[in-house]
Structure 1
Amino acid sequence: MKIVDMHCDALYKLQDSKGKLTFQDSPELDVNFERLIEGDVLLQGFAIFLDPEVPVEQKWKRASEQRTIFKQHVLQRNGMMKALKKWSDLLELAEGNIASVLTLEGVEPIGQDLEKLGQLLDEGVLSVGLTWNYPNLAADGIEEPRGAGLTVFGKQIVELLNERKVFTDVSHLSIKSFWDVMELAEFPIASHSSAKAICPHMRNLSDDQIKAMIERDAMIHVIFYPLFTKENGSAKMEDVIRHIDHICELGGIKNIGFGSDFDGIPSHIKGLEHAGKHQAFIAELRKHFSEEEVAGFAHQNFLNHLPK
């Protein structure tokens, strides 16, 4: 069954390796070419993410390096990896190809320059998270005690994303920033967040937030990270399914997708350690849901929610 995974950090890991890893088959990468094929992945989201400790004056350069890695290493797979420039490209993907899409996890690289964001969108960034946990010029993240919402600049960013039919990602936002985005964004998405009622980590979404996403008919991509999946210790695939069950109970069966966070997490769900394991998770889901429902979680829900 084809898989859509809206979030991984393979570009960050490739950059950090300084050439020691290859996207083709390095086992250190949760997401590599061979594992995407093994997992029958239709679409993989590749985040541009920078360590918060990168100096401000180097952030644009480092983000540009990750875009180069995407072009020169991820896409160079005998034409099988196809970069999307707009969401409608996904509907025209040839059989056997894997769609690759750039996302932005935190707008720090653009500074205060909306033209730089426009450049990223022109190059194919199709989902943007305003921040990663901490505050920046656009918004507060979930780990900022102040808990403020979007700035004027952040609201300008959301307006631009609306114009360009690009997702605004609510994962990592402070609670106030989340509600500001829900008020302004035409295309909200949670690229890698699960249910706080099942695992009370601050990065997960409360029932009120999940209900708001469902009311807006927005996608919620559950994450494959034990820390956000189950309190106290390791987690199994059944524990991820508890989050899916809960979102379904809230009315979101048509709004659920996958956002693994592979290559951005230090531990893994048992049996779901890398992109090649997606089909094992599908087999587990089939024990709990109908074939149509499983297909929805795997890819169809997302295809039904592409910005238009």
Structure 2
Amino acid sequence: MARPVFADPKTDFVFKRLFGSEEQKDLLLALLNGLLELEGPHRIVSVELLAPEQRPAVTELKHSIVDVKCRDARGVTYVVEMQVLNVEGFEKRVVHNVAKAYVGQLGRGQLYPELNDVIGITICDFELWPRSEGHRVPMLSRWRMQEQHGGEKGLGQLQFVFLELPKYDVSRPPQTVVEKWAYFFREAENLTMVPEALAQHPYVDALEAARTAGFTEEEWDAYIRAGMAIQDERGALSLARTEGRDEGRREGQVEGLRQGIEAVCEVLGLELTETRRQEIAALDAAGLSVLLARIKARQGWEA
């Protein structure tokens, strides 16, 4: 199999190679400052990588959730995640992870004033808030608690940042820092050379770190396995959704037939006893169809 020039940074192996290693810590700093839109004296200048969390218990999602944790000099913790697949309850899991990181700071004997803020940064390869007329969450959105009457912002101990990659405007070259990061994550695996838009630091550094020519055979095999695992998860979720839709259609068909039988019996003046209702409830779609046809043909149903 011929190697592409650059590996997909959305995969577990490459994301952690770029943003979860001591050797590439500058890339993590650049990503944090870029997505948090920090400039000048507000920029994060150093971080400490934290031990990764255990993979989620749901086996089907173990490869599509990628996270890197770090803490800056002020004590603020950052939970940086790449989410490839849109799964049920995704937003709740993000909130849970950030809250868990916040509460996890409180060891035995520690006081609440010692707790530091936690910021969750999630890069989504899907639209978490789909675009709709009159309601549009931007590609980069930032969330924190807000007083509902006056709009005063407060309780900023937990903050959330989301970058929704499909919302990147492909009709023009990327201009801003955020757009360039979105372009990098979306298009890196399709590039054959460093584009002009990403020819400066830190994007060119990220591309060089993702250049497959620098992968050992073991690293290349790990990358291929990570990509195949994501495809398997995507296929499993797609199958589950298809089966769910099919089951929903079958249930709707059965319910429609039951309602049809009740309507015909009502028109013909036939009483449905509880015993008959139970018999109808036990029939599948084929049985209900036969029964409905018999009732219509006989125009009656003897007790």
The question of a shared fold, defined as TM-score above 0.5 by the shorter chain, is answered with no
Give the TM-score normalised by the residue count of structure 2: 0.31
CA radius of gyration, larger in: 2
Q: Normalized per residue, which structure has more helix?
A: 2
